[in-house]
Amino acid sequence: MYRFLTICSVLPLAVCCTKVVLSNDDGWAEKNVRTFYDDLVAAGDSVVLSAPADNESGTGSSDAPATTLDQPCEFNSCPAGSPPEGHDASNPRLNYVNSYPVTSMRYGIQTLSPTFFGGPPDIAVAGPNVGANLGSTVKISGTVGAATEAAKEGIPAIAFSGTTGSQISYTAAQQPYITVYGDLSTNVTQTLAATAKPYLPSNIWLNVNYPSVSSSTCSSPTKFKFVLSRINSAGSGTAADVNTCGSTRLPTETTVVNTSGCYASISVGVATTKGDATAAQQAVVLGKLKKLLSCLPS
């Protein structure tokens, strides 16, 4: 976790007790989300996981009451007949909800957070998702659905997604891409949490996407650079973006992730529409994350 440790050494002590609700759409027992949980805890954050009992990828902002399980949780992480909500026997902060990502995130904010934190969380994060969530894909992403639900409830939120990987159990051997994505996501979360509250404007969430990781490409967190981006391509009548990198038009997140050189995109979105934020809202994020942000090569 080289990049995180570098930042943590200069963060104020208060950042090391950030209260975080974590969710995803790949399921509570998937390796990416458990690694991210461990990384955040190692960083000194107080974290509660509240994620679907099974894979709920592609369910967007679907929402339904949790029900008793009629089959085991994913990877047999809980037995059939388990209650609608439950937790790991050895760690009550690792929770499943037998419903959608939105439902899981709400349960984490409204039920688990008061129990463990005595009130609302400071920030909500979702992912890292198995697979990128770029452009129009945000409309159907359950990971994005979880993050936007948090933002609608007044909690600053970030959705993280990585291009490389497949859904594997948290008991499987650690993979290099999972280590990289977990480290980078912790870095972004910690950097935002080091800024003054409110961390994000009202009804705003961040969509973060990582390119592929392999032994020969983007194999280390130190090789990555973050670029402020747009979710969608700008049409002829689209208002100008924040002025940065010598332009008032941000690159799309797809352009960023597909650029050679290990570039990760950070887009500023409106929770209620899942579309792009205004230049003024982008400017707030630019100011808060400026230590992380770079420009694409010209």
The residue among 136, 137, 221, 143 whose CA lies nearest residue 181 is: 221
CA distances, 154 to each of 8, 20, 120, 184 (Å): 26, 14, 9, 24
What is the amino acid identity at position 240? A
Render pLDDT for 27-80 as a digit per residue (tens, 0 to 9).
999 999 999 999 999 999 999 999 999 999 999 999 999 999 999 999 999 999
pLDDT value at 5 more than 50: no
Averaged confidence pLDDT in the chain: 94
CA distance 282 to 267: 8
pLDDT value at 1 more than 60: no
Contact 96, 51 (CB under 8 A): yes
**H/E element, 8:** helix 2-8
CA distance 258 to 21: 30
Rounded to the nearest 10°, the torsion over CA 50, 52, 56, 57 is 30
- Which DSSP category does 109 fall into? I
What share of the chain in percent tops pLDDT 90? 92
3-state secondary structure 28-70: CCEHHHHHHHHHHHHCCCEEEEEEECCCCCCCCCCCCCCCCCC
- Placement of tokens 């020969």 in the chain: 216
Which of 45-54, 130-139, 153-162, 212-221 bottoms out in mean pLDDT, i.e. has the lowest? Answer: 212-221
Contact 184, 9 (CB under 8 A): no
Cα within 13 Å of Cα(131), Cβ side: 17
Render pLDDT for 286-297 as a digit per residue (tens, 0 to 9).
999 999 999 999
Domains, the chain, in order of start with CATH, read 2-294 (3.40.1210.10)
CA distance 258 to 287: 25
Strand runs labelled E in the chain = 19-23, 46-52, 85-88, 91-97, 123-130, 157-162, 204-210, 225-229, 263-270, 275-276, 293-294
What average pLDDT score do residues 256-267 get?
A: 97
Q: Is the peptide bond before 101 cis (omega within 30 degrees of 0)?
A: no
Q: What are phi and psi of 85, to 5 degrees?
A: -125, 145
CA distance 60 to 131: 14
**H/E element, 270:** strand 263-270
pLDDT the model gives residue 151: 98
Render pLDDT for 219-242 as a digit per residue (tens, 0 to 9).
999 999 999 999 999 998 999 999
pTM strictly above 0.85: yes
What average pLDDT score do residues 72-100 get?
A: 98
